[in-house]
Structure 1
Amino acid sequence: MRIDGQCHCGFVTYEAEIDPGAVSICHCADCQRLTGSPYRVTATVPRAAVHLTGNPPQLYTKTAENGRQRLQYFCPECGSPLFATGTGDDAETWGIRWGSINQRAHLRPVRQIWCASATDWFGETAALPGKPRD
């Protein structure tokens, strides 16, 4: 599936070819802290499938809970998280942050990882009262 995306302010833009079946949810403590949310949704792709079309993102290197270094790319202007990858052999796979993908409404997660760190209320949000806008 051909996608395009951007950060919130539009400073960093990209295009990619992705497999819609490679979208997952991560509940790890690092993803919770880096997003300020209970989990992160990511589309995993080969590095060669991602093409920057705008300005370059900023890089932050984080050592994950499992000891691996994770390279976190984000917009230097608005701070939106965009991509993550690893080092060495792990650098061949990139994770595109679901919220930055313009076609995200067509991408549903197919698996979850780090479920031991999931909040105990994950999955109960559909039962909460809600408004269409606020």
Structure 2
Amino acid sequence: MRITGGCFCKKIRYTATIDPKTVTICHCTDCQINSGTAYGVVVGVTNEEFILEDGKLTYFEKIADSGARRSLAFCSTCGTRIYAKPADGKPGRFGIRVGTVDQRESLIPRQQAFFNSALDWVTDITNLKKM
């Protein structure tokens, strides 16, 4: 599936080819803290499938709970995080933030990662009041 996306202020724009079956809810503590919410939602892509069309990404490197070095790419103007990937630069899959994808309505999570880090209340939110 071909997708387009970008940041909140529209200075960053990208295109990518993704497999919608790779949409994942990530409960790792890094996603919780960096997103400011209970979890992140990402879709897998490879370096070859991701094209930065406009703008310049800023990077922040950190050591994940797993011990892996991670490079977080974001817009330096509005702060929107676009993706995170291994900092070693080796080819492989990485996760684009689904909230930055223009076609996000059609990207439905198929799996969960790091569920052992999920906040207890996340397991059932279907009965909460809808506003």
Percent of counterpart pairs with the same letter?
36
Give the TM-score normalised by the residue count of structure 1.
Answer: 0.93
- Name the residue aligned to 2:107: 107
Structure 1 residue 92 displacement after superposition: 2.5
Tell me which amino acid in the other structure corresponds to 1:40. G
2:70 and 2:12 map into 1 onto residues whose CA distance is: 20
1:87 and 1:29 map into 2 onto residues whose CA distance is: 18
- Name the residue aligned to 1:85: 85
Aligned residue-pair number: 131
1:124 and 1:13 map into 2 onto residues whose CA distance is: 35
CA offset digits 1:101-120 (Å, max 9, x no partner): 00011011111111111011
Q: Structure 1 pair 64/17, CA: closer, same or farther in 2 (3 Å)?
A: same
Tell me which amino acid in the other structure corresponds to 1:97. R
2:95 and 2:67 map into 1 onto residues whose CA distance is: 18
Runs of 5+ consecutive residues of structure 1 not aligned to the other structure: none
Q: Does 2:71 correspond to 1:71? A: yes
2:103 and 2:22 map into 1 onto residues whose CA distance is: 14
On the 8 A contact 1:85/1:91 being kept in 2, the answer is no
Structure 1 residue 14 displacement after superposition: 0.2
Summarize the alignment of residues 1-134 of structure 1 with structure 2, pairs less than 5 Å apart.
1-88=1-88, 91-131=91-131
Runs of 5+ consecutive residues of structure 2 not aligned to the other structure: none
On the 8 A contact 1:3/1:17 being kept in 2, the answer is yes
